[in-house]
Structure 1
Amino acid sequence: MIHSHSNAPLRALVLSLIAAGTSSLPLRASACSSCGCNIGVEWADSGYSTAAGLRLDLRYDFINQDQLRYGAHAVRRRDVEIPNEEEIQQGTLTRFYTLGLDYSIDHDWGLSVQLPTLQREHQTIDEGDTGITGSSTSGIGDLRVIGRYQGFFADHSWGLQFGLQLPTGKIDDRFDRGAEAGETLDRGLQNGTGTTDLIVGVYHYAALSRDWDRFEQLQLKQALDTRDGFRPGTQISLNAGLRYVGFTGFIPQLQINSRIEGHETGAEADYQNSGSQVIALSPGVSAGIGGQVSLSGFLQLPVYQHYTGYQLAPHYIASVNLGYRF
């Protein structure tokens, strides 16, 4: 049950940004991946609100994958022999701009739509090469449409998510410089997966006291088909968060975000260098700007990482969200 408080409007808005969408934090950051775009960098994903209405979100995410990792350890590039029998990724810098619309039909039902646009710079040394090959790409990613139902109990504290990720992003971008110029980028680095993916999840929210709230969420993302020899790995996300709502005008919070991701499969997949387990701490703060506008920010810091094969990972992920409730 949500207690009344002078911060109630901000609490409701922040809750809609946090409680059901935290699994969308871009934990995935493999060397041959879309570093989170296609699994939703939206920590404002599908929302959680007991009040009917429409919310518009514009979010910016910064992901600089400049750390080469193997298993649970960082790899010093000077220790990797070049040329190598494997591709050695050098770095991937991605900026996401995500437009989100969330509509709460009534106390029980809601619908959320998110469309990411991305800009990406990527550099790698292909197997057997000594020079760097690179690419600069941009465009829309895969569209997410997620419904929710939270009418199981009178306090609406439990919710169910169900939806699809649709293949709206390109899958044919190419390297534009270096020895591999003109060759198609790895599928994990394309704007989209090319597949239609099922998204299902469950979440729970509760007030611990007058000033403290918590939430938990479990979410599954599963590809329903294969496209041109590629099928992304299954992803399971488990998240929890704690918020202090005793201040006036802003709400500090801390989330724990975890994700297990399976191998890519298919003729165009990089099976040996895909698959991961990541746990991250995400401190953040949300503030009200006027009666209908909110500004939220999170800094995601990995505390445990295990990658299969050679993969790139960020030292941190920064996310900022501007929301407007109509």
Structure 2
Amino acid sequence: MDNAHACTACGDSLSTDWAIQGVSTTPGFIADLSHSYINQNQQRYGTSKASPALISSLRGAGQEIEDYTKTQMVTASLNYTNDTWGVNTQLPFIRRTHGTFGEEENNYGSSFSSNLGDVRVIGRYTGLSVDRTAGIIAGLKLPTGSTNTKFSGGTPDLINTSLDRALQNGTGSTDLIMGGFVSGAAGKYGWFAQGTLQHAVSTKTIDGLDYRPGDTYLLNTGMRYAKFGSQFTPMLQLMYTHRRPDTGAGASPADSLTQGPSTGGTLVHLAPGATIRIGGGTSVYGFIQLPVYQNANSLQLGANYTLTLGIRHSF
């Protein structure tokens, strides 16, 4: 639900930087570079894997059937923290391959894209409490990502036709992001909880077709364990994502059997990970996101895991 917006498996609520959650108020900059990999090759319908019979029924009714989507995303971010406020800017670069069985029998299309995604600028204010353990979040997702990827391989009648808007590296919309967070500590444990709402306030019409990505609700709670000292810190996060269906003439067609929405859904991820400090203000980290609950509107692609690795430097 981050970058391949039609799927339930693409959660983007993972927090890779404890300081950005307001847990740390040390003034200064943090530069971060991360790489995420997700291979969506699992057909899901509702809360379970889609059966071959169901897929055949949808196919027979003329519905497109997505085959796979492989996404690699490199995100460069710069975070600044002052006494009571901070700002984080995220610049993603997305490399994606995708395959789809078309609406007509024996049709198949494949695509490749490698370009900028949608930039995010998120501010936070921690002056709501004396100890600065609670705050508000406000920011924008900007329409910097590509929206013109076309099928480049497959059967001739699909080549050079546009991918669904939900599969583009950018939504074409300017989104408002609002939320809040709270954090604390108990002995060797630190924790945070955060909630945000993302809503498109300005959209882009392409080829005469309007498109509005569905609102996204994110809840994320995390815990870290400091008994091993400052060099190694294990973490565990639980993330809830609910995305409402996309709307507009450019949105994916309705489910061919139920006529209900074919985008949106609910996902819960469990994400264990760790940060290792390597000295000089530099640390590396890794997380694996594991889906523990998925409820997809119509037939959507899911993934068994999402892997994120990164490096950051404080100065």
Normalised by the length of structure 2, the TM-score is 0.89
RMSD in angstroms over aligned alpha carbons? 2.1
Of 166, 169, 176, the residue aligned with 1:191 is: 169
The residue correspondences of 1:33-112 to structure 2 (distance < 5 A) are: 36=10, 43-44=16-17, 46-48=20-22, 49-77=24-52, 80-81=55-56, 82=59, 84-104=61-81, 106-112=82-88
Give the 3 Å change call, closer, same or farther, for CA 309–68 of structure 1 in structure 2.
same
Question: In 1, distance between residues paired with 2:78 and 2:149?
Answer: 28
Q: What corresponds to 2:112 in structure 1?
A: 136
Deviation string for 1:33-90 (max 9, x for gaps)?
59749x6776449553311101100000001101110111101447632555111111
- Residue identity opposite 2:141 in structure 1: Q
Amino acid at match of 1:269: A
Q: Please tell me whether the aligned partners of residues 9 and 303 of structure 2 are also in contact (alpha carbons under 8 angstroms).
A: no
Looking at structure 2, the residues matched to 44 and 214 of structure 1 have their Cα atoms a distance apart, in angstroms, of 13
What one-letter code is carried by the residue in structure 2 that aligns with 1:277?
T
Change (3 A) 1:213 1:34: closer
What is the aligned partner in structure 1 of residue 218 from structure 2?
237
Q: Distance in 2 between matches of 1:166 and 1:86?
A: 31
Residue 206 of structure 1: CA displacement?
0.4
How many Å apart are 1:132 and its aligned residue?
2.5
Seen in structure 2, the aligned counterparts of structure 1 residues 78 and 322 have a Cα distance that, compared at 3 Å, is farther
Q: Which residue of 2 aligns with 1:13?
A: none
The match for 1:305 is 294
Judge which range, 73-82 or 106-115, deviates more.
Answer: 73-82
Q: Secondary structure at the match of 1:267?
A: coil
Does the 8 A contact of 1:34 with 1:190 survive in 2? no
* Number of the residue aligned with 1:23: none
1:123 equivalent among 92, 96, 99: 99
Partner secondary structure for residue 122 of structure 1: strand
What is the letter of the counterpart of residue 65 of structure 1?
Answer: Q
Which of the residues 317, 323, 326 maps onto 2:306?
Answer: 317
Q: Tell me if 1:290 matches 2:279.
A: yes
SS in 2 for 1:110: strand
CA pair 264-43 structure 1, distance change in 2 beyond 3 A: farther
Q: Percent of aligned pairs with the same residue? A: 36
How far apart, CA to CA, are the structure 2 residues paired with 1:245 and 1:40?
23
CA distance in 2, matches of 1:29, 1:306: 16
Whether contact under 8 Å (2:4, 2:167) holds in the other structure is no
Please say if residues 47 and 102 of structure 1, whose CA atoms lie closer than 8 Å, have aligned partners that are also in contact.
Answer: no
The residue that corresponds to 2:89 in the other structure is: 113
Q: Which moved more, 1:312-321 or 1:267-276?
A: 267-276
What secondary structure does 1:80 align onto? Answer: helix
TM-score (norm. length: structure 1): 0.86
Q: Provide the C-alpha distance between the structure 2 equivalents of 1:227 and 1:42, rounded to a whole number of angstroms.
A: 29
Structure 2, unmatched stretches of 5+, are: 255-260
**CA distance in structure 1 between the partners assigned to 2:168 and 2:48 by the alignment:** 26
Distance 1:260 1:34, change over 3 A: closer
Q: Provide closer, same or farther for how the CA distance between residues 166 and 44 of structure 1 changes in structure 2, counting only shifts above 3 A.
A: farther
The equivalent residue for 2:122 is 146
Residue segments in structure 1 that go unaligned for 5+ positions in a row: 1-25
Residues 106-128 of structure 1: CA deviation (Å, up to 9, x unaligned): 21011110010010010010112
Distance in 2, matches of 1:114 and 1:208, equals: 31
- Contact 2:7-2:264 at 8 Å conserved across structures: no
In the alignment, what sits opposite 2:244?
A: 262
Distance in 2, Cα, partners of 1:305 & 1:219? 20
User: Is this contact kept in 2: 1:140–1:191, CA < 8 A?
Assistant: yes
Match of 1:10 in 2: none
* Deviation by residue 1:98-156 (Cα, 9 ceiling, x = unmatched): 0000011x210111100100100100101123242100111000010011100122211
Alignment partners' CA distance in 1, 2:138 and 2:123: 5
Q: Whole-Å Cα distance in 2 between the matches of residues 43 and 144 of structure 1?
A: 15
Give aligned pairs, total.
297
Q: Choose from 196, 199, 203 the match for 2:181.
A: 203
Q: Residue type of the partner of 1:279? A: V
In terms of mean alpha carbon deviation, does 248-257 or 94-103 score higher?
248-257
Q: Note closer, same or farther for the CA distance 1:40–1:192 as it changes in structure 2 (3 Å cut).
A: farther
Are 2:13 and 2:220, in contact at CA under 8 Å, matched by a contact in 1?
no
